[in-house]
Chain A
């Protein structure tokens, strides 16, 4: 992993994600995301908080065009993703690692196969089908599995793992892409409190070692405050707070979520 870090820091001075005037309307005239702009660089981590249905998942999926944005631009390490289509879009998506709330693993494949899924964007389909991955990629997958403590499980089916273990596999899959940015859509919402903390630590640690900006959608405000160095509060499709977690006040939270009875 050290060698990769060196390689990446040589070729890529700093990795970044820039979102510019992003608008998404499912129904014309009723934007769910309205003019969102922010930039994340280097190893900084951003927590996106906000009530359910406010467009956090939509925002994160607009970055890699799983959901096409209505207007606005998304730049990954300076490259504009938004106008890309087909082959070019596929290649651009390799630079965007994504971690999911429900892990989105292929349950019937082995842990190793799931991790190597992160290389499918690079490997020709017939090679992938025959499981003929280049040796260095298999080595990297093994190293990654060892570092997250799952090398012994490499040949087990993904559905035999616990929730926390599965999320680790999901994260390893995203890291295998050699991404320039890591997106996490509620990565801890299906997990217990202890495992949630472990997953946050893992995400932050990988962001540090690989020099990746990290964007996390998260419901747990305390977890966000504890781990990330910037919080973006979304409400009714707009950013209404953008700053360090230490300055996030109860008034801000009231404005983001509405009401106050849930605050201690």
Chain B
């Protein structure tokens, strides 16, 4: 009982080793955040003065102006069309590309090109892709569709490949032993193990495509983004508010739909 108050050392040394490298790393990260904030002139006073500007801006948004609703609806439809077409093609393309990138099923001369292609799709933000495609195919929805197809392949392809790499290879072994051709092995032993996750990735990416398709219009690749940007530049803040509200509505509806889709496939 007395021993409790005394400071005793464990007989066999401390059970957990201190990792000084990790501690030094954390310290460096924290110091860098302060340094960068100082360097970029991020300060409390600027934030406070910005708040009043923001309030003024919000004030000009009301009352919301829905008088040009026809333009709004046609823009929204174009946005949805871009997202749907891009998702459909993106999903179809990312199936084989993801499969080719799976290192547990494919030889390295197949996985490397597939993995490099996926890495290229992921290396640029959709805005950069959109700028490139507007230059390549001109203004309009086609540029937006191409942008989002590549974004979809980058996301679904990578996650799909990882999902395949995590499957149990036991059924694959059994079907190889029975003399099944490679395609049948994929269909019977691989697809059932990854199907649900693939549907999950796809519906998530459809969500992302819908949000991104509202944005590609800013650089002229079709959809509601173009109108949004124009409203900004003309200080049409009441119409801008109408656009923002419709985008929020659109995203919420799609969220609801993808939730229902996931329920069906659970």
Contact = CB atoms under 8 A, between A and B. Distances in A.
Contact of A121 (B180, B183, B192): B180
B54 interface: no
Nearest to B172: A104
Given A113-B188, A117-B188, A128-B187, A173 B174 contact: yes
B179 A106 contact: no
B173 A104 contact: yes
Contact of A118 (B171, B178, B187, B189): B178
B119 to A, nearest CB: 31
Interface stretch (A1-9, A86-94, A226-234): A86-94
A260 interface: no
Contacts of A177: 178-179
A66 B192 contact: no
B170 interface: yes
Contacts of B187: 125, 128-129
A117 B175 contact: yes
Interface centre among A91, A93, A98, A106 (most CB of B within 10 A): A106
Interface residues of B, number: 20
B181 interface: yes
Contacts of B174: 98, 100, 104-105, 117, 170, 173
Contacts of A94: 178-179
B176 to A, nearest CB: 6
B177 A66 contact: yes
B193 A120 contact: no
B176 A66 contact: yes
- Give the interface SS of chain B, mostly helix, strand, loop or mixed: helix
A254 interface: no
A96 interface: yes
A132 interface: no
A66 B189 CA distance: 16
Interface in A120-136: 120-121, 123, 125, 128-129
B108 interface: no
A105 B173 CA distance: 10
A202 interface: no
A134 to B, nearest CB: 15
B179 A93 contact: yes
A102 interface: yes
A108 interface: yes
A128 B170 CA distance: 20
Given A106-B171, A173-B174, A121 B179 contact: yes
Nearest to B193: A108
A104 B188 contact: no
A98 B192 CA distance: 22
| Residue from B178, B180, B181 whose CB has the most chain A CB atoms within 10 Å | B178
Interface string A103-120: 111111100010001101
B178 A120 contact: yes
A145 to B, nearest CB: 17
A242 B230 CA distance: 88
B177 A98 contact: yes
A66 B173 contact: yes
A217 interface: no
Given A128-B187, A129-B187, A100 B180 contact: no
A108 to B, nearest CB: 4
B184 interface: yes
Interface string B96-114: 0000000000000000000
Nearest to A126: B183
Given A98-B174, A100-B170, A105-B174, A91 B192 contact: no
A109 B191 CA distance: 10
Given A100-B170, A100-B174, A128-B187, A108 B180 contact: no
Interface of A: 64, 66, 90-94, 96-98, 100, 102-109, 113, 117-118, 120-121, 123, 125, 128-129, 170, 173-174, 177
